[in-house]
Amino acid sequence: MASVTIEPTAARDLAAKGGKPQRLAPNYWPFVMPALVVIGAVIVFPWVFTLWMSVNSWTLGQEQTFTGLDNYIRLAGDMRFWESMWHTLVYTALSVIAPLILGTLAALIFDGEFPLRGFLRGVFVMPMMATPVAIALVWTMMFHPQLGVLNYLLSLIGIGAQEWIYNQSTVIPALVLVETWQWTPLIMLIVLGGLAAVPREPYESAEIDGANAWQKFRYLTLPMIAPFLMIGVIIRSIDAVKSFDIIYAMTQGGPGTASETINIYLYNTAFSYYDIGYGSAMAVVFFFVIIALSFVLMMVRARTNWSDMEER
Amino acid sequence: MIPKMTHRMWNRLGLFFVALVMISPVILFFVWMISLSLKYEIDNGAYPPILIPENIAWSNYAKVFEENNFLLYFWNSILVTGAATILALVIGVPAGYGIARLKAEKAAMVIMIARMTPGLSFLIPLFLLFQWMNLLGTLWPQIIIHLVVTVPIVVWIMIGYFETTPKELEEAASIDGATSWQVFRLVALPIAKPGIVVAFILAVIFSWNNFVFGIVLASRETRTLPVAVYNMLSFEQVSWGPLAAAALIVTLPVLVLTMFAQKQIVAGLTAGAVKGG
């Protein structure tokens, strides 16, 4: 009843002000405004400023000069930059694949029923929330070639001592081990969400048809959790590309530059050499790499969903 | 009937042990972390390694607080995380509400891109800005830059949450003559409490854990815990006991929160995850 009386008044009011008559809608913009101001200041302003700095040559304490695309040209010919790109690619690929496989496995286990399930899941989730730097320091001690507990554990099963993060050829896998330890639970949680929505009936008929466990997983579970796996891949990729705390705290990109990812090289350029202009150009490229990556992954995801629907 | 039941019991027990194997790296890690923090240097340097020492070195914990100004850094962490979280809630909860009701896809997009952008890329310009404003040396730069982490998380979770709360009640209230603010304050906000709790917890954790902003912006007096524990490494020679003790002190508040608020964290991360893309 009330709406009948309000709406014409509102329409008349608007008409009186010369606006088009429209449905009375609560004004939501005042709610969004403060956040827009803050986001403008701490997020959008830095983006624009970085873009501007990237076309200048400026080392802190020295003269700033506009140099156009010089920084980007320098970047294209910078071997250390391309190497860091390669490290990032390897690091990211491994840090997506390993948690994806282990996380799915964990989800299949935790989807079942067993004693203390809630508690064990709580323990499993802890690494994800733990402070990365603190974790990294303890891993560093565990990786110690002589005194570390990991080499001792390996010796128990007859495997020789490894140099872990202290060797150029094993440093990235060792870091990925930490990353996997930390982020496998996230994949588990995401896949667990997918498994919760899986219907029972197809499994019952599959059992009648005599399908084994692997066949049930491959032909029933996997297609149904595929969209969730894709979400896991997207989130994990974006996080792994940006990974900083663990790498910086454990190796600072070393030994040499063997574990220097784009993020670490960017940090060194901007805050060790104070080469602000060049660092900004790197930040801009890095930004677009991440945007491109997420765009590609979302396209893949959209396609997966679509083909999924077609099958049904 | 009976064989079937025992079969099921064995299944459950089997699954329990498989799950135990699955999480054993987590248990081993934390047990070893505690062990390291409670051993004297002789025991920490022993080979083969000792899990439970004869003499327990509680002094490691005392050392952390005595020699490293850890109380100050603890306080700094509380101030930075507290301020950044409260500000983010004050700004972000209404914003999440507004964006959800406006269906402002573009605003949501900006938030999402902000979440994907590496923290480092905000640091260069903001570092220069803070230097120019002469704020370095105070906690303000860190509080402000932590908003880069907390605001998008809060807004993101609240958008998702308000999208699921019913609009009908709000419409009824505004028909009865409530202003937009009253509708938000008296109708929308009370329903959203669980969502706010989730946003609060995740903002606290991600702000507390943040390291990269601190190493650039913190001075000797304004270090937060993650930076402080990292800086212990650069001391003359690293003694493992106190270092492990410090690492445990830094991460313990977060782990306790994780244990108690497991449900909220799982909800927040999967909601954020499923929506995040």
Q: Which amino acid is at A274?
A: Y
Q: Is the pLDDT of residue A6 over 60?
A: no
User: pLDDT per residue over A183-240, tens digit each?
Assistant: 999 999 999 988 988 888 888 888 888 888 888 888 889 988 998 898 899 889 988 9
Q: Which of B33, B120, B211 sits opposite A263 (nearest CB)?
A: B120
> What average pLDDT does this structure show over B224-243?
84
Q: Which residues of A touch B45 (CB under 8 A)?
A: 147
Distance of CA B40 to the CA centre of its chain: 31
User: pLDDT per residue over B80-128, tens digit each?
Assistant: 999 999 999 999 999 999 999 988 888 888 888 888 888 888 888 999 8
Residue A27 backbone phi and psi in degrees, to 5: -90, 115
| pLDDT score recorded for residue B264 | 85
Please tell me which residue of chain B has the smallest CA distance to A274.
B124
> What average pLDDT does this structure show over B222-250?
87
Please indicate whether, in this complex, the C-beta atoms of B26 and A30 are within 8 angstroms of each other. Answer: no
CA B110 – CA B129 distance, rounded (Å): 22
The ipTM of this complex is: 0.90
The CATH-assigned architecture of domain A71-311 is Orthogonal Bundle (1.10)
User: pLDDT per residue over A46-85, tens digit each?
Assistant: 989 999 999 988 887 778 888 888 999 999 999 999 999 9
| pLDDT score recorded for residue A264 | 95
CA B122 – CA B135 distance, rounded (Å): 17
Q: Is the pLDDT of residue A258 over 90?
A: yes
> What average pLDDT does this structure show over B171-189?
89
Side-chain-facing half-sphere of A157: CA atoms under 13 Å: 4
Please tell me which residue of chain B has the smallest CA distance to A263.
B120
| pLDDT score recorded for residue B209 | 95
Q: Spell out the domain ranges in chain A.
A: 71-311
Q: Is the pLDDT of residue A24 over 80?
A: no
Q: Is the pLDDT of residue B272 over 90?
A: no
Structure tokens at A215: 């066949």
CA B60 – CA B65 distance, rounded (Å): 9
**Which residues make Cβ contacts (< 8 Å) with residue B13, sequence separation at least 6?**
A114, A115
Q: Which of B101, B107, B144 sits opposite A42 (nearest CB)?
A: B144
Mean pLDDT of chain A: 86
> What average pLDDT does this structure show over B154-173?
88
Q: Is the pLDDT of residue B44 over 50?
A: yes
Please indicate whether, in this complex, the C-beta atoms of A42 and B145 are within 8 angstroms of each other. Answer: yes
| Portion 96-135 of B in contact with A at CB < 8 A | 97-99, 101-102, 104, 107, 110-111, 113-114, 116-129
User: pLDDT per residue over A100-121, tens digit each?
Assistant: 999 999 999 999 889 999 899 9
Can you list the alpha helix ranges (DSSP code H) found in chain B? 2-37, 41-44, 59-67, 70-102, 105-116, 120-132, 140-164, 168-175, 180-182, 189-191, 193-209, 212-217, 225-231, 240-260, 262-276
Q: Which amino acid is at A55?
A: V
Q: Is the pLDDT of residue A306 over 60?
A: no
Burial of B66-87, coded b for 16+ CB within 10 Å and e otherwise, reads eebebeebbebbeebbebbbeb
Pairwise pLDDT comparison (A169 vs A294), residue with the higher score: A169
| pLDDT score recorded for residue B4 | 64
Q: Please report which confidence band the pLDDT of residue B2 belongs to, taking 50, 70 and 90 as the band edges.
A: low
| pLDDT score recorded for residue A103 | 96
Asked if B239 contacts B146 with a C-beta cutoff of 8 angstroms, the reply is no
pTM of the model as a whole: 0.88
Work out the angle between the directed axes of helices A222-242 and A276-311 (0-180°, nearest 10).
Answer: 180
Q: Which residues of B touch A150 (CB under 8 A)?
A: none
Most confident region among A155-159, A244-248, B66-70, B218-222 by mean pLDDT: A244-248
| pLDDT score recorded for residue A137 | 94
